[in-house]
Each structure stands twice: as C-alpha cells, then as structure tokens.
C-alpha cells in the first residue's frame, strides 16, 4: 500500500479478469492493423486472432501492473478485506499542506 503510482492513487487494485484499455480491443485492432486487415483473405479470422493477442498482451491487469498503474492484482474474494485495509491506511495518512502563495491583504 501507499507507494507512488502514475495516477498518484493510494491504492489501485484489479481482479485477474480486469481489462484495461482506452478503447476496446476490437477498436484498437481496427486502428492498429487496418492495412493488414484490408489485405487479409479472411479478414474476420485475422481480426479475431489479433483481438485475442491484443487482450493477452496489453489489456490485462498484469501488463497494467507492470507499468506501475495498479498496486496489486487480487482475487474477487479478497476485495472486501483489501478495501478495508486500504481505507484504514488512508484514514491515518498525513498529507502535507502546500505553502500559501499569498497572504490576506488588508482591506
């Protein structure tokens, strides 16, 4: 827990079945492999394989965790316990205040 991640969260968890992506795997494949798909003899079969490969490589929580975006991958049955521990950690957290840039001006 704690730690400094990309989005400055105190705790980011994911289940093993989580999928992380800015866009869906199908849309990403259409964008990234448009030339290959346009030339394919069996476009749908190629797309299906590329979507599977994309999900396995990039849209899974293990890849995201390796990029330091999430703290841990947990089993669904651990969710309640991990959230409680995270809230307990955050409750005692001390956040330093930023120095004031300007004082009050007399009026």
Listed residue (86, 31, 39) closest to 58, CA to CA: 31
Round to whole Å and give the CA distance between 71 and 15.
11
Q: Answer whether 0.75 is exceeded by the pTM.
A: no
User: What local confidence, expressed as pLDDT, does residue 4 receive?
Assistant: 43
- Segment 5-9 shows an average pLDDT of 59
- Predicted confidence (pLDDT) at residue 42 exceeds the cutoff of 90: yes
By percentage, how much of the chain surpasses pLDDT 90?
Answer: 29
Domain-by-domain residue ranges, the chain? 1-20+61-93, 21-59
Q: How far is CA 4 from CA 9, 10, 80, 81, in A?
A: 7, 7, 23, 22
pLDDT surpassing 80 at residue 47? yes
How far is 19 from 52, CA to CA, in rounded Å?
12
Q: How does pLDDT run across 52-86, given as a tens digit for each residue? A: 988 888 777 777 777 767 788 899 999 999 999 98
Is the separation of the CB atoms in 54 and 28 below 8 Å? yes
Quick one: average pLDDT of 83-95? 85
pLDDT at 2: 41
């Amino acid at each position: 827990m704690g730690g400094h991640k990309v989005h400055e969260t105190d705790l980011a968890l994911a289940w093993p079945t989580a999928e992380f992506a800015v866009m869906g795997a199908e849309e990403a494949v259409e964008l990234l492999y448009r030339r290959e798909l346009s030339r394919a003899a069996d476009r749908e079969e190629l797309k299906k394989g590329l979507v599977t490969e994309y999900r396995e490589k990039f849209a899974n929580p293990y890849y995201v965790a390796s990029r330091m975006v999430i703290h841990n991958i947990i089993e669904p049955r651990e969710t309640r316990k991990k959230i409680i521990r995270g809230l307990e950690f955050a409750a005692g957290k001390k956040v330093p205040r930023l120095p004031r840039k300007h004082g009050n001006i007399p009026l």
